[in-house]
Amino acid sequence: MAKGVIMPKAGMAMEEGIIIKWLKKEGDSVKVGEPLLVIETDKTSMEVEAEVSGVLLKIMKDEGEVVPVTEVIAYIGEAGEKVGTPEEAVKNSAKGKSTEEKISETMPETESYDVVVIGGGPAGYVAAIKAAQLGGKVALIEKDNVGGTCLNRGCIPTKTYLKNAEIIHNIKNANKRGIILENSTFIVDMHETVKVKNNVVKTLTSGIVSLLKSNGVKIYTGTGYIMKDKSVKVGEERLTARKIILAGGSKANKINIPGIESSLVLTSDDILDLKELPKELAIIGGGVIGVEMAMIFSAYGSKVTIIELMDRIVPGMDSEISKELTKSLTKLGVKIMTSQKLEKIEEKGDRLYLYLDGNQVVEAEKALLSIGRIPDIEGIGEIEFEMEKGKIKVNDKMETSVEGIYAPGDINGRMMLAHAAFNMGETAAINAMGGDTRADLRYVPSCIYTMPEVGSVGLTEEEAREKYDISIGKFPFAANGRALASGESAGFIKVIIDKKYGEILGVHIIGPGAAEIINEAAALMSAEITAYEAANIIHGHPTFSEAFMEACADSLGICVHLPKKDIV
C-alpha cells in the first residue's frame, strides 16, 4: 500500500508548516533520502526528504498551503498503485512506523541533566553554580548575557555612572575644603562614559562565564521554554532534567497612556547607552531607579524633573528617609513633583510634553519611564503555574505549584533585589539537588546609591508601630567625627526597637557609607542581637559605622554623645 508523506514536526513548538516549493512532481521516481519539497516553519526553512523509494503518486497539498504537523501531504508507492485514505497512509507511513515514532524522529536531539536553569541573572547563575558544586550535571540557558539585568542594565552600570557623579560633586565642592581649582568647569563625555561602563560589565560577565565553566556548567545561548512534558526547548535543541530552575528575572514595567511608545521615552534598560546628554530629563516614577537616575543626570548637567504618583519619593522606604532624600535631591537642583498622575505624552519635533492632571505640563528632551519592574515569564512555555498578580507563586523552598520546578529571583516577585536573588537561587539549587532548606528574607537590606546613600532593613516606623510598643533611637551624622571631617554630615541612622525585649525591628540610614553600614545591622538582626548588646559592641573611631552603635544606645536612652532624652 502507498505510504504517506507527512508534514514533519521539526521542533517541540512547531504546530504547522508552509509548503514553499515541491521539488518533485506527480509521476516522478524518488529514492530514499532524496529531497521532495521545501517547507517553512516559524524558525527556518528546510527540505523534506523521501523516506521510501518509489513513485510520487499524489500531491495532496499545494505550494503556499499551511499544513498542520503530521498531516498527509503526499503519497509514495509503486507505479499504478491506488492511493489509500489519509488515515491509512499515516498508519503505513515510512517503514511502517507509527505517527508517534515518526514525530520522535524529527524532534531535536535530547541532552539529559540533573538540573536545567533558565535565566543567567543573579538567581540563575548562582543556582547553576551551587547545583554543580553539589555534584549535579547542570545546564544554564541565557538569551542575552549572563549576569541578568543587575549586571548588564541595572546595579553595576548605574553604580559606574554614580561614581562619576560623585567625582563631579567632589570637584564642585573642592573649594569649600581649601582646594582651589583654577578652572573647575567640566564636560561629561558620554561616549567615554558608556565605554567605561561597558568595560566594567564585560569584565564581570566574563568572570561569571569563567565561574560557570570552571564548575562544569554547560551554557546554552537562547530563550528556554518549558514544554508540557517538562523538557526544556532552546532553539532547535531539547533538554531534559530531573529538576528545572526557572529564573527568568524581570523586565521594565510600562504604563498604558497615549504617547508612551515615543522613541524619546526611554526605559531603565536603555538609558545607560545614551551617547548624548539630554538637556532636560523627565523621570516618570520616583522609586529607587528613578532617584538614582535623577542623581546621575543632574550631576552630569541635565535639568531633571521627577514625576511621582504617590505623595513622596521612594514610598516603600521609611517616611523620614523619603523626607531627607527629597531635601538632598532638591538641594542638587532636581525638581520633585509628587501626587502627580501622568495623563498623556506628546512628541512635537524633538521635544516631549508630559501632561499631568491639574493642567500641569512638563517639557523635556527625553523622558525615563521608571515605574518599577515586572516578572519576565517568557520561559514558562507550556506549563501552567499557580500565579499571583503576574508572579509565579513559590514557597520558602522556592518550589512552584508544579513538582520539580523552582522559581527563584525576580520572577516570583517576593523581593526584586539582586542579593535576595542570590539567596533564593542557592535555596532552589540545594532543594533541587535533594536538600531541605528555606530562604529567610526577613532581613534583606535595601540600598539606594544616591548622595547621601540610603540603607534600610526590617520594619519601617509605620509598620513597627502597628505591631509593637516601640522606642526609636536616632544619631545624626552631624555628630559623627568621621562624617564632619569628610564634609558628609547630612543624614542620620535610625534604629527602631521593641521596648519589651530590645529586639531590633528596623534600621534606616541616610548618610555616608549607608549601603555598607546596613549590612552590619542586617547581620545583627539575623543573629537576634538586641539593642542592649549592639550598643556595647566596640566600633573603630572615627568611623561612619560607629553612628549605628550610638543610635542603638539612643533607642535605650543611654547614648553618651547625644543630649539626654526621655524614653516615651
Q: How confident is the model at residue 318 (pLDDT cuts 50, 70, 90)?
A: very high
Distance CA 443, CA 349 (A): 49
Q: How confident is the model at residue 90 (pLDDT cuts 50, 70, 90)?
A: very low
Which region among 9-18, 140-149, 240-249, 487-496 has the lowest average model confidence (pLDDT)?
9-18
Q: Tell me the three cell numbers of residue 115.
A: 538540573
The string of DSSP letters for 385-440 reads --EETTEE---TT-B-SSTTEE--GGGG-S---HHHHHHHHHHHHHHHTT------
Reference 188, options 248, 104, 97, 278; nearest CA is: 278
More confident residue, 421 or 269: 421
Predicted local distance difference test score (pLDDT) of residue 42 = 59
Which one of the listed residues 419, 508, 541, 561 is annotated catalytic? 541
Q: How confident is the model at residue 79 (pLDDT cuts 50, 70, 90)?
A: confident
- Tell me: pLDDT of 210 over 60: yes
Q: How confident is the model at residue 33 (pLDDT cuts 50, 70, 90)?
A: confident
Percentage of residues in the chain with pLDDT exceeding 90? 74
- To the nearest whole number, what is the mean pLDDT of the chain? 90
- Tell me: pLDDT of 109 over 70: no
Classified as helix, coil or strand, 93 is coil
Catalytic residue list contains 561:
no
Reference 305, options 283, 327, 332; nearest CA is: 283
Predicted local distance difference test score (pLDDT) of residue 186 = 84
Which region among 21-30, 439-448, 530-539 has the lowest average model confidence (pLDDT)?
21-30
Burial 259-297 (b: 16+ CB within 10 A, else e): beeeebbbbbeebbeeeebbebbbbbbbbbbbbbbbbbb
- Tell me: pLDDT of 566 over 70: no
**Which residues lie across from 467 on neighbouring strands?**
none
pLDDT tens for each residue of 515-528: 999 999 999 999 99
The answer for residues whose C-beta is within 8 angstroms of residue 121's C-beta and 6 or more apart is 146, 147, 148, 149, 150, 151, 247, 249, 409, 410, 418, 421
Reference 290, options 310, 305, 278, 303; nearest CA is: 305
What's the whole-number mean pLDDT along residues 375-388? 93
Q: Where are the alpha helices (DSSP H) in 14-154?
A: 86-91, 99-106, 122-133, 148-153
Q: Tell me the three cell numbers of residue 16.
A: 504547522
What's the whole-number mean pLDDT along residues 386-404? 96
Q: Tell me the three cell numbers of residue 266.
A: 526611554
pTM greater than 0.85 (yes/no) = no
Q: How many residues does the chain have?
A: 568
What's the whole-number mean pLDDT along residues 31-40? 86
What's the whole-number mean pLDDT along residues 285-314? 96
pLDDT tens for each residue of 320-360: 999 999 999 999 999 999 999 999 999 999 999 999 998 89
Distance CA 477, CA 480 (A): 5
Q: How confident is the model at residue 376 (pLDDT cuts 50, 70, 90)?
A: very high
Which region among 5-19, 30-44, 173-187, 278-292 has the lowest average model confidence (pLDDT)?
5-19
Predicted local distance difference test score (pLDDT) of residue 101 = 44
Q: How confident is the model at residue 107 (pLDDT cuts 50, 70, 90)?
A: very low
Q: Tell me the three cell numbers of residue 394.
A: 513559590
Q: What are phi and psi of 419, to 5 degrees?
A: -70, -30
Reference 461, options 568, 318, 323; nearest CA is: 318
Distance CA 182, CA 168 (A): 15
Q: Is 516 exposed, middle or buried (0-12, 13-18, 19+ CB in 10 A)?
A: middle
Q: Tell me the three cell numbers of residue 370.
A: 521608571
The DSSP code for 503 is B
Which domains does the chain show, CATH number per domain? 3-106 (2.40.50.100), 111-252+374-432 (3.50.50.60), 265-371 (3.50.50.60), 446-555 (3.30.390.30)
At residue 367, what is the residue type? Answer: A
What's the whole-number mean pLDDT along residues 544-556? 97
More confident residue, 372 or 407: 407
The DSSP code for 530 is B
Percentage of residues in the chain with pLDDT exceeding 70? 93
- Tell me: pLDDT of 99 over 50: no
Distance CA 116, CA 140 (A): 6
Q: What are phi and psi of 362, to 5 degrees?
A: -110, 125
- Tell me: pLDDT of 87 over 70: no
- Tell me: pLDDT of 91 over 50: no
- Tell me: pLDDT of 11 over 70: no
> CB of 239 within 8 A of CB of 139?
yes
Classified as helix, coil or strand, 280 is strand
Distance CA 391, CA 412 (A): 5
Predicted local distance difference test score (pLDDT) of residue 67 = 87
The answer for residues whose C-beta is within 8 angstroms of residue 421's C-beta and 6 or more apart is 121, 122, 123, 126, 150, 247, 408, 409, 410
Helix axes 288-300, 155-173, angle to 10 degrees: 40
Q: Tell me the three cell numbers of residue 558.
A: 543611654
The H-or-E segment that residue 85 falls in is none
- Tell me: pLDDT of 97 over 60: no
Predicted local distance difference test score (pLDDT) of residue 106 = 45
Q: How many CA atoms lie within 13 A of 294 on its CB side?
A: 34
Reference 239, options 256, 222, 258, 214; nearest CA is: 222
